[in-house]
Amino acid sequence: MAAVTNTFESVKATILSAHESTTSVEKVNFYNSWAENYDQDVAVLDYRAPSLAANSISSHFSSDREAALVLDVACGTGLVAKQMKIHGFGHFMGIDGSEAMLKLARESGLYQDLKQSLLGEEPLPVQWGLFDVVVIVGALSIGQVPVGVVRELCESTKPGGYICMTTRSNRDNVEYKAALERELKQMEDEGLWTCVEVSQVEDWERAVSQQEDGYIAGAVYLYKKLKL
């Protein structure tokens, strides 16, 4: 039992150290240094967001999954693509800011194309209106990707395609989550997309902040781009 506790404590320390990274370069350096241990560490956290997002997409996507083009934004090592592959999706393009993460994603063999890009600081390096599914898991939170990136996710999606996004519901992320939901609603009011499903999940991942224990909550948002 002590070994598990020690492992969790070390993962907690790693994640809390990320909060010290304020500039883009520092954040990228953090993820570059974390890449080799990332999959094992998030497994210790019981991080469920990749599977929850894949399940949400799968439950509503009725077209040819093998032929569908999926854009995995902030793809990391490929955890989301791995889950979507289980549901029959087979054509992935990934984008991430960390070259070390992209190296591991490349080694997974899941992606047909991978590109390095700093989200929110430069436009997504993709053709607008190309993808059947666009998914971003984990990056929409305080100190990571600005809320405005969701407009680029929508732009990247084919009319009639799906956009799946996740965020945390813990104390540190309350204001960010509220701003995100305002933007999602504003885009719906503008006629850009329609909300298909919002899932509030209690056991999202194990808490790492000093103010919380047990599990923190999170949310999965699934939107469908309207055909203009």
Q: Which residues pair with 168 in a beta bridge?
A: 218
Q: Which domains does the chain have, with CATH numbers?
A: 47-225 (3.40.50.150)
The model's pLDDT over 170-226, given as tens digits with 9 standing for 90+, comes to 999 999 999 999 999 999 999 999 999 999 999 999 998 877 889 999 999 999 999
Q: 165: exposed, middle or buried (C-beta count within 10 Å: 0-12, 13-18, 19+)?
A: buried
Q: Which residues of 120-152 are buried (b: 16+ CB within 10 A; e: fewer)?
A: beeebebeeeebbbbbbbbbbbbebbebebbeb
Q: Quick one: which of 170, 162, 177, 165 has its CA closest to 213? A: 170
Residue at token pair 């083009």: 69
In this structure, are residues 59 and 220 in contact, taking their beta carbons and an 8 Å threshold? Answer: no
CB neighbourhood size of 208 (10 A): 21
Q: Which pair of tokens denotes residue 110?
A: 């899941």
| % of the chain exceeding 90 in pLDDT | 84
Would you state the pLDDT for residue 16? 79
Q: Quick one: which of 74, 29, 30, 27 has its CA closest to 50? A: 74
What's the rounded Cα separation, in Å, for the pair 54 and 59?
A: 9
Reply yes or no on whether the pLDDT at 9 is more than 70: yes
Would you state the pLDDT for residue 191? 97
Reply yes or no on whether the pLDDT at 115 is more than 60: yes
Would you state the pLDDT for residue 2? 40
Reply yes or no on whether the pLDDT at 148 is more than 90: yes
Q: Quick one: which of 59, 26, 48 has its CA closest to 144? A: 26
What's the rounded Cα separation, in Å, for the pair 3 and 28?
A: 30
Q: What is the pTM of this model?
A: 0.94
Please state the rounded mean pLDDT for residues 36-59.
96
Calculate helix-pair angle for 99-108, 79-86, nearest 10 degrees: 30
Q: Which pair of tokens denotes residue 36?
A: 């080799």
